[in-house]
Structure 1
Amino acid sequence: MEQKKLPNSTLILIFGILSIPFFCCYGFISIILGIVAIILASKASKIYAENPDMYSGYQNVKVGKILAIIGVVLGILFIAFMAWMVSYFGMEALQDEDLMREKMQELLGE
């Protein structure tokens, strides 16, 4: 029997890969791409589990899902870091370079 390519296996891999570098865009793009990749990977895994001999490309699904999880975690960490920065330094300090320098010197004890 001829094996068919697993649906969305390449898309899952691409979304998983893209979710990692896009965590720098305030984390939201990374989280969105990662969650979409995880959902698609779950559906593809169910299809593959029903008839594994019929489909190929399951390795792309597994790798894409792992990369998507990493991207989601990085996005959440980045959002948490930005929330900490805003709560600790304040929005004014983040927008004013001199005020930020003063706050950093206070933090370092200089």
Structure 2
Amino acid sequence: MENQEFNPYQNQQNDNFVIQQNLPNSTPVLIMGILSILGCCFYGVGVIFGIIGIVLTNKDMKLYNANPSQYKGLSTLNTGKILCIIGLILSAISLIITIYIFAIYGYDNYQNDMLEWSMRMQQDSM
């Protein structure tokens, strides 16, 4: 009886060795998802990162669906996609609130209110 070691890259169907590659955009999609969540605090900048992440996700999903045994990293890709969607939603809400505030108060009134608020906070802390 031979001593056979387990090889995760061996395809059980035809005894050929299949070397799996990471999906090319799985890590960038994850980074775009994180940046889209962080970017929602900056006047909806996260929308840009979220859209880029979703476009890259769609490219990789087509690549993965064409040959699933050749690629790994699908869980990273799905996590990045979920983060991109959350970032898009949060950024859209932030952008809508910002537009609403500027429409109601106007930019100058908003700046004056923020200046008064910061002066009151400084006085209260002394």
After TM superposition, where is structure 1 displaced by more than 6 Å over at least 4 residues in a row?
98-101
Query: What percentage of residue pairs aligned between the two structures are identical?
Result: 39
Unaligned runs of 5+ in 2: 1-17, 118-126
User: Which residue of 2 is the match for residue 57 of structure 1?
Assistant: 73
Residues 1:87 and 2:123 are matched in the alignment: no
Equivalents in 2 of 1:60, 1:73: separation in Å?
Answer: 20
Residue identity in the other structure for 1:48:
Y
TM-score for both structures, normalised by structure 1: 0.83
2:41 paired with 1:27: no
Query: Is residue 63 of structure 2 the alignment partner of residue 47 of structure 1?
Result: yes
Rate the CA distance shift 1:55–1:99 in 2: closer, same or farther, 3 A: closer
After TM superposition, give the deviation of residue 18 of structure 1 in Å.
1.4
The structure in which a higher percent of residues are helix is 1
Code of the aligned partner of 1:4 = Q
Structure 1 unmatched runs, 5+: 102-110
CA RMSD of aligned residues (A): 1.8
For residues 15-67 of structure 1, what are the alpha-carbon distances to aligned partners after superposition, in whole Å with 9 as ceiling and x for unaligned?
11111011111112x01111000000000001001111110001111110111
Length, aligned pairs only: 100
Highest CA radius of gyration, 1 or 2? 2
Instruction: Say if 2:28 is the partner of 1:11.
Output: yes
Write the letter of the residue equivalent to 2:77.
Answer: V
Pick 1 or 2: higher relative contact order, CA cutoff 8 A, min separation 6.
Answer: 1
